[in-house]
Structure 1
Amino acid sequence: MDPLEDVLALVGVRSSVSAGLVAGGDWAMSFPPPAGVKFVAVRAGSCHLAVQGSDQHHPLTAGDCCLLTRRARFTLASDLSLPAADARTAFAQARSTAGDGLARTGTGEDVFVLGGSFDFGERAHALLLDALPPVIVVPATSPAAHTLDWALAQIEHEVRTQPLGAGLVAEHLATVMLIHVLRLHLARTRAQAPTTGGAGPGLLAGLSDPVVAAALRALHTHPARSWTVADLAASVGVSRSTLAARFSRSLGQGPLEYLTQWRIALAAQQLQAGDRTLASIATAVGYGSESALSTAFKRVLGSSPRAYLALSGR
């Protein structure tokens, strides 16, 4: 099993692509905090990116792509010292007027920016997003940028030409792009720190450590197995103490704590699907009874399975 694929499927990523932004001359545009993860790709020209709460500014040129992983206001501009127009007004006007559907600011058409967002389920932050840096930049000058260029070129074509089904096609391509960026970020952290993990504690840091990655694959393949740390360590060929230390350093928790979190995430997904009994779900995720699952569920999520369903609107 692929833990990254498992988590992306579990958190239910949904992609959306906004209208493109055309800009030129002196300009600045302020964007509201995204509900999920935001992507920004510069297809022509150059601009600067600033994210609220960070002192670091990012110069972006044609071919650069970045992910913004925090719910923070951000600004794109030719000069960040300029007063910024409200992006919501510009994009609303683009949708309401006849024309090519592109938002515009400044004078001229030197710059073209694609943007979109990825919305995730409620468990995404704990399982994936909290471990990502606030901004992930893939520069056009890096070999990795070529991997993204095909998807971005196709998204640009759909946004500019608006053929039938353009929105759906662009959304699926955006999900492809997201997976590529996460892969590239994972490869970068592996190269920077192959045995200690280069990301903050979380799934990607775990996947950047080959020993922890092997353990994660075992847990995701057989979540219902009665694992012990010794069994898991033997399955990946290291000592119990080595696995425990590397797992804790990479994910900020021990192997069995992670397994509990993953089992409860699986149980919550199956509960929301509504096609299985609580007893069958308990067995499927490694608990011997409904009461054992309910106890673990309440410890992890703060409510019983039935209360969780009521709170989620089912």
Structure 2
Amino acid sequence: MVDPYSEIISLLKPQASYSKLVHAYGPFRVRREGLSEAFYCSLLKGRAWLEVEGKEMLDLEAGDFVLIPAVKSFTFSSVDPVPPKGILSRPSEGEDGIFRLGSPAGEAEVQQLVGHCTFASPDAELLVSLLPDIIVIRGGERLAALNDLLRDEARSDRPARSAVVEHLLQVLLIEAFRSATAPGASAGLLRGLTDPRIAPPLRAMHAAPAHSWTVVSLAEEAGLSRSAFFSRFNRIVGIAPMGYLMNWRMTLAKHMLRSGQHSIAEISDRIGYGSASAFSTAFARFVGTPPARYTQTLAAE
């Protein structure tokens, strides 16, 4: 059974580029802008508000995990006490490597592990577009166990601490993707895979990308009329069915071109084009350069 989720994750190659343990005391508000990497936050203790542009404010509690695959800006602030209007806090790093907000006194009311991750795939932007724009996981035993391991490791001074934290974060990110199946989740691939009507055509496209799929044949996989399927796919996945198929075919094509193990004719056959010239035309229209030149550019890098 082809697992589209596993394919996307393996091609994305998530890597934790930066993480820090933050302790907050009293009222605080942190604002970050001009970001270009995925952002994650694991709330270890207390409550906090997270505001992301274009989204409703999130009220986070201990055990919650948030992942935003593509974030531009966000505001993180205390719930109790509510921070005064206009206050912006600056974290300071202690000798123990923990960042602190406010005036340390006693035990921190809020503890969180925050950071950024990168996706090593050159096609990250395309692949991220297939994922929900925000993932919120509320508690859960598996995430709680991972959170405990992360908190313990982040506070430790053990050998290879950074490497262990990075690998644990990778597991946490994957677990977050896997868990993002709530009915109210954002449009994207993961939501599509949990829908009883949309999951079959999604899996079919991934299982046989070379097949001559049409909206009608995909609607048959879904057991819906053409118009009902088209509308439902758009709403749940966030992109038209044939647009999704084109994105996936071109992602596979670029992956095969980068490997250097496949001819253009072979790639054409494997992703459903009748000839190398038809594939080259479609690839050039989608990527902006013909596949042969794309390969030459890769070789020169």
Give TM-score, length-normalised by structure 2. 0.82
| Aligned counterparts of 1:277 and 1:264: Cα–Cα separation in 2 | 15
Q: Give the C-alpha shift of residue 235 in structure 1.
A: 4.8
Structure 1 spans left out of the alignment, 5+ residues: 193-197
Structure-1 residue corresponding to 2:23: 22
Q: Per-residue displacement from partner, 1:136-163 (whole Å, max 9, x unpaired)? A: 33334xxxx3331111111112111142
Structure-2 residue corresponding to 1:64: 64
Q: Give the C-alpha shift of residue 292 in structure 1.
A: 1.8
Please say if 1:35 is aligned against 2:36.
yes
Q: Give the C-alpha shift of residue 228 in structure 1.
A: 4.1
Please say if 1:285 is aligned against 2:284.
no
Whether the aligned pair in 2 keeps the contact of 1:65 and 1:137 (CA below 8 Å) is yes
Matched residue type, 2:57 = H
Distance 1:254 1:76, change over 3 A: closer
| Aligned counterparts of 1:29 and 1:238: Cα–Cα separation in 2 | 47
| Aligned counterparts of 2:75 and 2:244: Cα–Cα separation in 1 | 37
| Aligned counterparts of 1:234 and 1:59: Cα–Cα separation in 2 | 41
Please say if 1:161 is aligned against 2:141.
no
Structure 2 spans left out of the alignment, 5+ residues: none
Structure-1 residue corresponding to 2:165: 170
Structure-2 residue corresponding to 1:85: 89
| Aligned counterparts of 2:268 and 2:230: Cα–Cα separation in 1 | 26
Please say if 1:100 is aligned against 2:96.
yes
| Aligned counterparts of 2:148 and 2:46: Cα–Cα separation in 1 | 15
Distance 1:233 1:155, change over 3 A: same
Q: Give the C-alpha shift of residue 22 in structure 1.
A: 1.8
Aligned equivalent of 2:200, options 214, 219, 241: 214
| Aligned counterparts of 2:137 and 2:251: Cα–Cα separation in 1 | 31
Q: Give the C-alpha shift of residue 267 in structure 1.
A: 0.6
**Total equivalences in the alignment:** 291
Q: Give the C-alpha shift of residue 285 in structure 1.
A: 2.2
Distance 1:223 1:30, change over 3 A: same
Distance 1:310 1:33, change over 3 A: farther
Whether the aligned pair in 2 keeps the contact of 1:38 and 1:69 (CA below 8 Å) is yes
SS of the residue corresponding to residue 263 of structure 1 reads helix
| Aligned counterparts of 1:303 and 1:104: Cα–Cα separation in 2 | 49
SS of the residue corresponding to residue 63 of structure 2 reads coil
Whether the aligned pair in 1 keeps the contact of 2:63 and 2:143 (CA below 8 Å) is no
Whether the aligned pair in 2 keeps the contact of 1:17 and 1:167 (CA below 8 Å) is no
| Aligned counterparts of 1:103 and 1:151: Cα–Cα separation in 2 | 21
SS of the residue corresponding to residue 226 of structure 1 reads coil
Q: Give the C-alpha shift of residue 233 in structure 1.
A: 4.5
Matched residue type, 2:3 = D
SS of the residue corresponding to residue 30 of structure 1 reads strand
Q: Give the C-alpha shift of residue 47 in structure 1.
A: 3.0
Matched residue type, 1:77 = S
Task: Give the aligned CA root-mean-square deviation in angstroms.
Answer: 2.9
| Aligned counterparts of 2:164 and 2:195: Cα–Cα separation in 1 | 35
Whether the aligned pair in 1 keeps the contact of 2:269 and 2:275 (CA below 8 Å) is yes
| Aligned counterparts of 1:300 and 1:239: Cα–Cα separation in 2 | 29
Higher helix share: 1
Matched residue type, 1:76 = F
Distance 1:270 1:210, change over 3 A: same
Structure-2 residue corresponding to 1:75: 75
Please say if 1:250 is aligned against 2:236.
yes
Matched residue type, 2:45 = A
Matched residue type, 1:112 = Q
